[in-house]
Amino acid sequence: MRYPFSESVAKKSRSNFYPAFFFLPAEKREAICAIYAFSRFVDDSVDEATNRENARKEIQLWRQRLKSCYNGRLFDSHPLLPEISEVIRQFEISQSIFEDLLIGVEMDLVKTRYKTFEELEKYCYHVAGTVGLLCNQIFGGSSENHRAYALSLGTAFQLTNILRDIGGDLDRGRLYLPLEEVASFSCRVEDLEKKIENKAFFELMKFQASRAWGYFDQAKKRLSPSERNRFVTAEVMRRFYEGILKKMEREKFPSLRRRVGLGPIQKGRILLSSWIHLRTK
């Protein structure tokens, strides 16, 4: 195992992503774990900070650590740095993608509301599209279609997360649904904060879900059937997130009260069918 620290972080996270990593050859699986670990650490730097100033300091620290991975002189002894440095070198990953991810994490410090979808879409790029682009480098994507696939899929994942996590985000003082759209459906922010489920809320959620489906569809159109095996890990993750979105729709969007997820059986079915598809191609 080349990157034991990154592997341990990914394994302990129990993320939807981790089981999908096993469809990759060992070298790429370990590299994806390093990308995941970096994303996890910088995200936690905001979520776990005791105040905004400490969070800013943590993000700046990660900027310095990242810069050191590119100049060959590691900033400190954090165990992730030698592993992510090797991934950067091996897969020739642009520093600007990591920098854009850090900008996204920083946005959560200064912005808790989004007026328009255009503003939210920019946020989705920074926190999720960037991760898609990083993974695209590992998968070997090189065309404009591959880049568009990664960006559309990242946005679809983030929009699904936003719909799933509304209740928890509101508890932390955050609302990612575009305020213009909330108002256009006659839905009141005060009602959302009080966890009131009414017709306006359900109509708003159906509209938001439809948009997420649109990004999933855009992503699927960017891959030819012959390319799906190369991107099998991303395709498994797509099916996981589509499953979560379908379940939210089926259960009438209970996200104000609880977080919807897939159970072990549902995940197992997706993994098994993906493995069978891979073996028969």
Q: Which CATH class is domain 1-95?
A: mainly alpha
Q: How far apart are CA 153 and CA 140, in angstroms?
A: 16
Q: How far apart are CA 206 and CA 252, in angstroms?
A: 9
Q: What element of type H or E holds 136?
A: helix 130-139
Q: 107-127: buried (b, 16+ CB within 10 Å) or exposed (e) per residue? A: bbeeeeebeebebbbbbbbbb
Residue 137 amino acid letter: Q
| 209 Ramachandran zone, left/alpha/beta (phi>0; psi -120 to 50) | alpha
Those residues with Cβ within 8 angstroms of residue 270's Cβ, 6 or more apart along the chain or in another chain: 236, 239, 240, 243, 262
Contact 75, 65 (CB under 8 A): yes
Where in the chain is CATH 1.10.600.10?
Answer: 1-95, 111-281
Contact 106, 122 (CB under 8 A): no
Residue by residue, DSSP assigns 201-232 as HHHHHHHHHHHHHHHHHHHHHTS-GGGTTTTH
Q: What pTM was estimated for this model as a whole?
A: 0.93
Record: fold of 111-281: Farnesyl Diphosphate Synthase (1.10.600)
Dihedral angle, C-alpha 110, 112, 114, 115, nearest 10 °: -100
Q: How far apart are CA 153 and CA 209, in angstroms?
A: 14
Q: Per-residue pLDDT tens, the chain, 281 aa: give them.
A: 688 899 888 888 777 677 788 888 999 999 999 999 999 999 888 777 778 888 899 999 999 999 999 998 888 889 999 999 999 999 999 999 999 999 999 999 989 999 999 999 999 999 999 999 999 999 998 899 999 999 999 999 999 999 999 999 999 999 999 999 999 999 999 999 999 999 999 999 999 999 999 999 999 999 888 788 789 899 999 999 999 999 999 999 999 999 998 888 888 888 888 777 655 65
Those residues with Cβ within 8 angstroms of residue 241's Cβ, 6 or more apart along the chain or in another chain: 16, 156, 157, 160, 216
Q: Extract the tokens encoding 78.
A: 């954090």
Q: Extract the tokens encoding 74.
A: 């590691």
